[in-house]
Structure 1
Amino acid sequence: MAVDTAVIGAGEVSDSHLSALAGNPRTNLVGICDIDESRATAAAKKYDTDPYFDLDDLLESVDLDWIHVCTSVQTHLPLAEKAIRAGVPVLIEKPTTETVAELDELAALSEEHDVPVSPVHQHLFDPAMRTARKRIRSGEIGPVRGVDLVYTGHTRPDEANRGTWVFDLPGGEFEEGLPHPLYLTLGAGGYPRGEDDISAQTSLYGDYEGRFDYDSAQIQYATEEGALCSATMLAGGAQNRTIQIHGEDATLIVDMILQTVHRIEGDYKGSTVGKVKQSLKYAGGHLAGLAKNAKLVAHASYSDEWAPKTKIDPHKYQIDRTAYALQHDLSMPVPLSEARWTIRLMEELREAAERPAAIAMTD
């Protein structure tokens, strides 16, 4: 039976949810809600559903199985609370909440009312990331020893891609996008051993008209299993979004832009022939990965079937998997615990940005 679903928020990000819900055979899009009546009406017309301008009216008018919160982060908790108290499962866009305290309040409400809540961490479901995590789970590279993520070319703080509300965040638009590299690090390497095992450093490289605390960030932590995980995130510059996952037996290099995964193994530093073989293997794997992705894109573009589209669109994939979980009373594909650690890492970065610059020592 299809899951009757509505979306709160008719801004830019909601379109990814609306298109996924409208085309998914597991879901039935029954409404779009926004306090801006013109936006709600336009979105409802585009997706052939009903517009609502007040959440209370939506919850009273429709018997919902699922609701998507796609509004500014400052509104996530009160909107989700209304849905939870009405018994409606919630999918919340990132960042899930502004603070860990809010996240804990959300988790407590979810548990108290036995209503599942899950964050949107869609890039965990990119083709390359799905492949990498499957290979990690299979034991192909052995126990994970460390993760190194590089995420450059990130949005600058003073760009309002999601709306001017981002300027209320210490890192502006840059900070709004930080959950992506942070949850990718968590997804590849695991959660921190404890809150005291996290270290962070930030800097402000650019000049901006508005006041922002940082546009460059580094985070590092150790996991319970002893893996050392680090992430470097920079606003602007050339885009480089790669994840190196170092196992006991091999390393996976995940290119999140080209959506390729390459395996490095063995000790070839003393052999010229070994270096050449490794280079050829890398080039061959790279081309094979690109060919596979091109095939997936072509299949999704020319097929009327739903499944191929989920394989190339991570929003569609997560929404499809979450709808399936709701239909079959399964655990959410992304747990709130991952959202909590993501927000905790963000808080550590904010705290680092607030620390005064180190005073140079003189003789």
Structure 2
Amino acid sequence: MTVKTAVIGAGTVSEVHLSGVAKNPQTDLVAICDLDFERARQAARQYDITPYADIDDLLDQESLDWLHVCTSVQSHLPLGKRAIEAGVPLLIEKPVTETIEEIEELEAFAAEHDVPVSPVHQHVFDPSMRAARRLIDAGELGQIRGVDLIYTGLSSPDEANRGTWVFDLPGGEFEEGLPHPLYSALALSGYPESEDSISSLTRLIGDYDDEFAYDAAQLQYVTEDDVLCNLKMLSSSKPRHEIYVHGSERSIHLDLILQTVQTVDDDYHLSSFKKGKEAVTRSAGYLSGLLSNAKLVADGQLNDDWETATRMNPHYAQFDRTARALERGAEMPVSLESSKWTIRLLEELRRASTPPVRTPTP
């Protein structure tokens, strides 16, 4: 059995969905839908599928097992509810909705109709993230005590990488990119113990023609397991995408750009000789990670099989895992709960970026 799949939205991000579904042996790509019918027709010709300009026509004409929603965030709730009414499971690009109220409405609607819905959180399936999760789950780090994320070099608010619709967001294109570091940190740290455990700080540093609220942000929260977390995200700076996970037995450092994971288990009180030895060990581990990644890239150039593709492309890895879950009627590999906390963190940043209303002095 293959999962009959369609994509709605023929914009920038849809290409990875179209190519991934077309290549996946578990899925059968049958249609593309976009309000701009000419754009839908161009994609349809490339993949030999049927184009549509209206979601109702798509759902009426195609017997779908899965729908990928790749439209602007403002359209996700009405499109999602229409597909859920038709009984079609959803994979929705991040963020799933703009607000907590919207995602809770979508979640309740999906539960009422017993239709699975999952967000696109592809970086959870990056090689380094999967390796880190295996170490944590195996207890190699001991008790997790803290998580620090540094995510710099994000787009400026006034860039339109994904379309001018991002300018309706308080943080513009900068905000549109924030779900990636937020859900990545949540995947390693766990969820905050409550909304009250979250604190935030934002700044608007750049000068822009449009009125944006922030282009730099910092979040702190404590998880249900008493893990202390700190997330710093900056636009218009040199890119660093790194996560440190601090455990009672050892710690790890993830470089999300180079896709390496280094283990740190040395003692603070090492002698100078042992510190030098540890530096050599770390350098060797770093080089080993780079060589492993180089081999993976080489394998991808030599092999065109789906297994290799899922190891290299995190989107493809999530598509594969989710399609298999749909076939088995199993739980989605990425839950809506993860997206709800991602949106809660985003809303906390929006709140922090809004100046308080001052009551006039009588």
Question: How would you bin the TM-score normalised by the shorter chain?
Answer: over 0.9
Establish whether residue 283 from structure 1 lines up as the match of residue 300 from structure 2.
Answer: no
Q: Distance in 1 between matches of 2:181 and 2:155?
A: 13
Q: Distance in 1 between matches of 2:278 and 2:183?
A: 30
Give 1:108's aligned residue: 108
**2:32 and 2:43 in contact (8 A); partners too:** yes
Distance 1:253 1:353, change over 3 A: same
Aligned residues: 358
Residue 300 of structure 1, CA deviation? 1.6
Q: Distance in 2 between matches of 1:58 and 1:80?
A: 13
Residue 229 of structure 1, CA deviation? 0.9
Of 155-164 and 301-310, deviating more is 301-310
- Secondary structure in 2 matching 1:210: coil
Residue 230 of structure 1, CA deviation? 1.2
Name the amino acid aligned to 2:41: T
- Secondary structure in 1 matching 2:205: coil
Establish whether residue 117 from structure 1 lines up as the match of residue 122 from structure 2.
Answer: no
The one-character-per-residue Cα deviations of 1:316-353 (angstroms, maximum 9, x if unpaired) are 00011000000111100000000000000000000000
Give 2:7's aligned residue: 7
Q: Distance in 1 between matches of 2:82 and 2:173?
A: 27
Give 2:167's aligned residue: 167
**1:268 and 1:274 in contact (8 A); partners too:** no
Give 2:344's aligned residue: 344
Q: Distance in 2 between matches of 1:152 and 1:173?
A: 14
The one-character-per-residue Cα deviations of 1:40-59 (angstroms, maximum 9, x if unpaired) are 00111111111011000000
Give 2:73's aligned residue: 73
Q: Distance in 1 between matches of 2:73 and 2:132?
A: 30
Give 1:324's aligned residue: 324
Superposition map of 1:252-263 within 5 A:
252-263=252-263
Give unmatched runs, 5+ long, in structure 1. 359-363
- Secondary structure in 2 matching 1:6: strand
> With structure 1 as the length reference, what TM-score do the two structures score?
0.97
Q: Distance in 1 between matches of 2:230 and 2:318?
A: 25
Q: Distance in 2 between matches of 1:236 and 1:313?
A: 26
Superposition map of 1:38-53 within 5 A:
38-53=38-53
- Secondary structure in 1 matching 2:200: strand
The one-character-per-residue Cα deviations of 1:7-56 (angstroms, maximum 9, x if unpaired) are 00000000010000010000000000001011100111111111011000
**2:154 and 2:235 in contact (8 A); partners too:** yes
Name the amino acid aligned to 2:105: E
Q: Distance in 2 between matches of 1:85 and 1:302?
A: 44
Distance 1:289 1:82, change over 3 A: same
**2:266 and 2:278 in contact (8 A); partners too:** no
Name the amino acid aligned to 1:198: I
**2:182 and 2:342 in contact (8 A); partners too:** yes
**1:158 and 1:210 in contact (8 A); partners too:** yes
Q: Distance in 2 between matches of 1:255 and 1:57?
A: 45
Residue 357 of structure 1, CA deviation? 11
Residue 270 of structure 1, CA deviation? 4.0
Distance 1:173 1:269, change over 3 A: same
Q: Distance in 2 between matches of 1:209 and 1:47?
A: 40
Superposition map of 1:54-203 within 5 A:
54-203=54-203
Residue 145 of structure 1, CA deviation? 0.6
Residue 356 of structure 1, CA deviation? 4.7
Name the amino acid aligned to 1:80: G
Q: Distance in 1 between matches of 2:66 and 2:301?
A: 28
- Secondary structure in 2 matching 1:30: strand
CA RMSD of aligned residues (A): 1.1
**1:185 and 1:230 in contact (8 A); partners too:** no
**Identity, % of aligned pairs?**
57
Residue 269 of structure 1, CA deviation? 3.8
**1:179 and 1:342 in contact (8 A); partners too:** yes
Of 319-328 and 261-270, deviating more is 261-270
Residue 260 of structure 1, CA deviation? 0.1
**1:126 and 1:259 in contact (8 A); partners too:** yes
Residue 143 of structure 1, CA deviation? 1.5
Give 1:361's aligned residue: none
> With structure 2 as the length reference, what TM-score do the two structures score?
0.97
Of 101-110 and 294-303, deviating more is 294-303
Residue 277 of structure 1, CA deviation? 1.4
The one-character-per-residue Cα deviations of 1:84-117 (angstroms, maximum 9, x if unpaired) are 0100000000011000000000110111000000
- Secondary structure in 2 matching 1:112: helix
**1:170 and 1:350 in contact (8 A); partners too:** yes
Q: Distance in 1 between matches of 2:143 and 2:326?
A: 32
Give 2:208's aligned residue: 208
Establish whether residue 297 from structure 1 lines up as the match of residue 294 from structure 2.
Answer: no
Name the amino acid aligned to 1:328: R
Name the amino acid aligned to 2:125: F
The one-character-per-residue Cα deviations of 1:159-216 (angstroms, maximum 9, x if unpaired) are 0001000000000000001000000110010000001110010001111111100000
Q: Distance in 1 between matches of 2:153 and 2:199?
A: 23
**2:183 and 2:338 in contact (8 A); partners too:** yes
The one-character-per-residue Cα deviations of 1:244-272 (angstroms, maximum 9, x if unpaired) are 00111111100000000000013144411
**2:84 and 2:115 in contact (8 A); partners too:** yes
Residue 297 of structure 1, CA deviation? 1.2
